[in-house]
């Protein structure tokens, strides 16, 4: 979302380039799966990042779409990771199943 001058509006969700070379975004996606596994006592295996968006809040909320393996089944989840670099904080806020692949 942009204002009339072309700048980003605080709170707006924007797409980011989530290609395989973006190690920071992939690291956040792996973090989301690992945190979900710990919280739910499951063993989902990270496969790949399908998409990513960011939102400026009191920090940065990363909206991630990830593919995981649950045994032999591939599944897609949407995750939200809050990052506050100045506090050295990274927290999984949401992790929801979207569909089986």
Determine the Cα–Cα distance for residues 56 and 10; give it in Å rounded to an integer.
Answer: 6
Residue 13 has pLDDT above 80, yes or no: no
pLDDT value of residue 3: 47
- Return the domain boundaries, the chain: 13-100
The DSSP line for 8-75 is: BPTT-EEE----TT-HHHHHHHHHHHHHHHHHHT---EEEEEEEEEEEEESEEEEEEEEEEEETTEEE
CATH 1.10.569.10 is right for the domain spanning 13-100: no
- pTM summary value: 0.82
Residue 14: pLDDT band (50, 70, 90) is confident
Please write the tens of the pLDDT for every residue from 49-100: 999 999 999 999 999 999 999 999 999 999 999 999 999 999 999 999 999 9
Mean pLDDT of 21-26: 81
């Amino acid at each position: 979302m942009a204002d009339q001058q072309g700048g980003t509006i605080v709170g707006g969700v924007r797409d980011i380039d989530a290609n395989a070379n973006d190690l920071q975004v992939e690291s956040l996606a792996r973090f989301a799966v690992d945190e979900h596994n710990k919280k739910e006592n499951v063993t989902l295996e990270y496969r790949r990042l399908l998409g990513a968006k960011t939102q400026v809040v009191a920090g940065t909320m990363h909206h991630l779409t990830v593919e995981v393996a649950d045994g032999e089944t591939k599944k897609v989840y949407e995750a939200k990771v809050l990052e506050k670099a100045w506090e050295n904080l990274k927290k999984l806020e949401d992790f929801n199943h979207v569909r089986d692949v």
